[in-house]
Amino acid sequence: MGFGTWAWGNQLLWGYQESMDSELQECFNLALKNGINLFDTADSYGTGKLNGQSERLLGKFIRECQGPIKSPDDVIIATKFAAYPWRLTSGQFVNACKSSLERLQIDRLGIGQLHWSTANYAPLQERALWDGLVEMYDKGLVRAVGVSNYGPKQLLKIHSYLASRGVPLSSAQVQFSLLSMGDEQMELKTVCDSLGVRLIAYSPLGLGMLTGKYDASNLPNGPRSVLFRQILPGLESLLSCLSGIADRKGKTMSQVAINWCICKGAIPIPGVKTVRHVEDNLGALGWRLSPDEISELEAAAMECPKKMVQNIFQTA
């Protein structure tokens, strides 16, 4: 398991304030203390003047950590580089990587990731971005390369291209949870397994819908409430199933939902904003759902009339 840092710097969706930084640092330190050293971020994380704030905070926390970090490579920072329309050359994409390294104040990233594919709307740009990943890897700016929001067909294409350039594709990040387990996600997992690519599951808790904290009369603040209002009313069966299994296991609903991802062979990266989030998420480790419990959860999930909205940049 790793932890996601989308909320770190995002005021619009997650209500970030700079006063949260001290607790975010506690989250980082507690994660490392418990063996979690994968942190997912992006050069686009942070709203307005706080753009890049997630990376800056991670860099600060690495420098100030009093814990088990012996070298920067002990922390795996997985940064996603946005496929902005003005990033048209491989050199511009490499410069994006260098800017992330500057914000993080480290010499090398754990994983450099293409945040999304441009195949659906700017296919000519796609090759330049792939070449940028190759250059990052060849220059030693990243230890590994990965992609995000790629479907199975496009994943096969980039894997083949990178292999022809002598660069292994290490990871593929996709929305994956009990609310996002359609045919395409399962096909992508099969393709990843066949290629030796690790699937990283973002939003494993469905933006919080699978935590059991919310209902129609208790919605989150901000834009998430619109999505919750559409989907939550149809989740009674799934949430009841999660609650029942959680009670039998002595776990929380969040821990059961994350453990399902782990049992499917994915690396979940739930987001964390508080120490309580970290403590709860850590409880998803060290045990496994039974095959019957997995089937029970998936049967309940299939009954949900509405699933999570897929990322607009998700490709086939």
Phi, psi values for residue 28, rounded to 5°:
-60, -50
pLDDT of the residue at 47? 82
Segment among 22-31, 46-55, 246-255, 270-279 with least mean pLDDT = 46-55
Q: What is the chain's length?
A: 316
Question: Is there a contact between 41 and 77 (Cβ–Cβ < 8 Å)?
Answer: yes
Is pLDDT above 80 for 284?
yes
Q: How far is CA 171 from the centre of its chain?
A: 11
pLDDT of the residue at 220? 87
Is pLDDT above 80 for 68?
no
pLDDT of the residue at 73? 79
18-61 pLDDT, tens digit each: 999 999 999 999 999 999 999 999 999 998 888 899 999 999 99
- What pTM, to 2 d.p., does this model score? 0.95
Q: How far apart are CA 270 and CA 108, in angstroms?
A: 24
pLDDT of the residue at 248? 97
Domains of the chain: 3-208+264-288 (3.20.20.100)
User: What integer is the mean pLDDT of 160-164?
Assistant: 98
CB within 8 A of 72, min separation 6: which ones? 62, 106, 107, 108
The amino acid sitting at 270 is P
Q: What is the 3-state secondary structure (H, E, C) of 203-216?
A: CCCHHHHHHCCCEC
Is pLDDT above 90 for 164?
yes
Q: What b-and-e string marks burial along 211-237, b requiring 16 or more CB atoms within 10 Å of the CB?
A: bbebeeeeebeeebeebbeebbeebee
Question: Is there a contact between 79 and 112 (Cβ–Cβ < 8 Å)?
Answer: yes
Is pLDDT above 80 for 75?
yes
pLDDT of the residue at 41? 97
What is the percent of the chain with per-residue pLDDT over 90, rounded to a whole number? 84
122: region left, alpha or beta (phi > 0 left; psi from -120 to 50 alpha): beta
Looking up tokens 């796609």 gives: 126
pLDDT of the residue at 115? 97
Q: How confident is the model at residue 224 (pLDDT cuts 50, 70, 90)?
A: confident
If DSSP codes are grouped into helix, strand and coil, which group holds residue 64?
A: helix
pLDDT of the residue at 269? 98
Q: How far apart are CA 24 and CA 15, in angstroms?
A: 13
Q: What's the whole-number average pLDDT of the chain?
A: 94
* Residues labelled catalytic: 45
What is the percent of the chain with per-residue pLDDT over 70, rounded to a whole number? 99
Phi, psi values for residue 85, rounded to 5°:
-65, -20
185-220 pLDDT, tens digit each: 999 999 999 999 999 999 999 999 999 999 888 998
Is pLDDT above 80 for 72?
no
pLDDT of the residue at 235? 94
Q: How far apart are CA 242 and CA 300, in angstroms?
A: 9
| Helix-helix angle 253-263:236-249, to 10 degrees | 90
Cα–Cα distances in angstroms (integers) from residue 294 to residues 6, 32, 207, 211, in the given order: 28, 29, 21, 17
Cα–Cα distances in angstroms (integers) from residue 313 to residues 47, 148, 242, in the given order: 19, 9, 30
